[in-house]
Amino acid sequence: MTETSSKTHWWIDLFLLVGFLAAFYVNLTGVSMHQWLGLAITILALVHLILHWDWVKAVFTRLFVKSSARARVYLLLDVLIMLGAAVMFETGLVISTWFNLDLSNYADWLDIHVYSSVIALGITVLKLGLHWRWIVSVAKKLFGKRAVIPVARPLQPVVVPVLVNQKSVDRRHFLMLMGAISGVSVLAATNVLSKVNAVQSASSTQLVASDPLAETTSPTATPPSSTAVTTSPAATAAAAPQAQGVTTSQGCTVRCPRGCSYPGHCRRYTDGNNNGRCDLGECL
């Protein structure tokens, strides 16, 4: 691999990693940008595979004959990452607003999409750890100081460089690189998992609240009082528009009363003004 191709691969891998991490922050990018970002990541992953196709074919042809154990591990990680990317892309299309499919099991598709992305991120971090020497060496070539060609001058005393413990230097570079990548990856995975858990908890709460038999079937429900409670027609009339999702308690007319700040299980979620809340829940 030439120096120019190494730098090209380095930049492609960097953009691929940054885009992958950014896709975990749907609350910042918004659903529309998240979907376009996923498409761009898939295209970059295919470009990465095409650039390394000769190496993939060489390892496959010698997989069980002359291939080294390290090459087999690298190939296994690449296959797992590509499978993860394929699952993420396919499930992302299914739950995307581009097709707006009416899914009865939307939560299951969302879980597969999220957890496959978290697993793929973990495998990616492991692969970066195995390639850390190449990453650091190319980064030094890209951002290090270029060597200056010395001009012929009279002989002068020079400073003899002192040998440095190379193992300690390598260890420091490794810890710095993996510490930064692992920290950002953990934050990204924690962010998306917390969002999914919050959506699932809110959805389960809404299901229980909307169930007319919830109070009678729950073992912890308070026994009904012997005193009859009557509701006035005015109170019933005031509660009816809110139940229909037309008017909120503040008298604001909306198309959807849920006020979602994350798509969750809702297939109608849109955020055209990028304020982090569903447009259907905003005042008309």
Tens-place pLDDT, residues 126-155: 999 999 999 999 998 899 866 555 555 666
28 CB-near residues (< 8 Å, 6+ apart): 22
Q: What is the pLDDT of residues 222-246, one digit of tens each?
A: 444 444 444 444 443 334 333 345 5
- 22 and 93 share a domain? yes
In this structure, how many other beta carbons lie within 10 angstroms of the beta carbon of residue 117?
24
Give the per-residue pLDDT at 238.
39
What are φ and ψ of residue 253, in 5° steps? -85, 125
Q: What is the pLDDT of residues 35-79, one digit of tens each?
A: 999 999 999 999 999 999 998 888 888 877 777 888 889 999 999
Q: What is the rounded distance in angstroms from the CA atom of residue 72 to the CA atom of residue 51? A: 18
- 127 and 54 share a domain? yes
Which DSSP state fits 68? -
- 74 and 138 share a domain? yes
Cβ 121 vs Cβ 20: under 8 Å:
yes
- Average pLDDT score over residue span 169-180: 86
- pLDDT tops 90 at residue 202: no
- 59 and 129 share a domain? yes
Token pair listed for 202? 């809110």
- pLDDT tops 70 at residue 218: no
**Helix (H) / strand (E) containing 127:** helix 106-130
Domain ranges, residue 248: 237-284
- 67 and 190 share a domain? yes
- In the structure, what pLDDT confidence band is assigned to residue 25 with cuts at 50, 70 and 90? very high
- Average pLDDT score over residue span 262-277: 70
Write down the pTM of the prediction. Answer: 0.68
Cβ 162 vs Cβ 226: under 8 Å:
no
Q: What is the rounded distance in angstroms from the CA atom of residue 28 to the CA atom of residue 79? A: 30
Number of H helices, E strands in the chain: 9, 0
- 80 and 195 share a domain? yes
